[in-house]
Structure 1
């Protein structure tokens, strides 16, 4: 097992957990500001931040799992870093879009694009290993 490759995936797992924590803090602040303890209370900004958090939870685990599998299958550390960086920057931009009360569309588009591309490439890498292609 290449411990450096697994450590690289660990780095991006930690960074993406920081992004999740950022979204949790943003949600908590809005809940306190508007005194909404369950649901959204009809507060559009709270609904927006909660949707951003849900989107992160929907997307981060599978991509990070794909990166871990790729690392365990022998994917070069540089490739894992490139995928991890692209995915993490994409998730930062995406979260930023949702945390802002009126986030710029480019943040969501770039965030989705980068993180989506990293996910698709990670899928291809794992599939390549599964079918015996050298990646």
Structure 2
């Protein structure tokens, strides 16, 4: 079985991560900061927006691919994929605007975690069911 839907979400998320990485590079150039954040709040913010994506995107794509390979329906795969992309976009927007509590940070995190948790539960249940 080959992957049909997961590569679409992988490509969209790769583009998002490149956009976020570009913001880091441009901020570094503007502020003349080669490594780290040098205590600058703007630099720290763009680093964390990108870093947060790098923390959640890989594991979610692995889980999504495994669910697709294990026969999850197109409806489930696309529901998870869309929810995750939306979660990452609103999280990046929210954190990019404010390091404090915001709608984007809160709901982006909730969507991200719900997708990861539901994928993990799906994989545990389907894997144990296959053993029976």
- The alignment's TM-score, normalised by the length of structure 1, stands at 0.89
Q: Which runs of 5+ in 1 are unaligned?
A: none
Which residue pairs with 1:18 in the alignment? Answer: 15
Q: CA RMSD in A?
A: 1.6
Deviation beyond 4 Å, 4+ runs, structure 1 = 101-104
Aligned length: 130
SS at match of 2:110: helix
Which residue pairs with 1:39 in the alignment? Answer: 36
Task: Pick the aligned partner of 2:128 from 123, 127, 131.
Answer: 131
User: Do residues 61 (structure 1) and 58 (structure 2) align?
Assistant: yes
Task: Pick the aligned partner of 1:79 from 71, 76, 80.
Answer: 76
CA distance in 2, matches of 1:52, 1:107: 12
Q: 1:69 to 1:86 in 2, by over 3 A?
A: same
CA distance in 1, matches of 2:19, 2:89: 10
- The alignment's TM-score, normalised by the length of structure 2, stands at 0.91
How far is 1:103 from its partner? 7.3
Q: Does the 8 A contact of 1:96 with 1:103 survive in 2?
A: no
Which residue pairs with 1:105 in the alignment? Answer: 102
Q: Which runs of 5+ in 2 are unaligned?
A: none
Higher relative contact order at CA 8 Å, sep ≥6: structure 1 or structure 2?
1
CA distance in 2, matches of 1:8, 1:26: 28
How far is 1:22 from its partner? 1.4
How far is 1:93 from its partner? 0.9
How far is 1:24 from its partner? 0.4
CA distance in 1, matches of 2:112, 2:64: 13
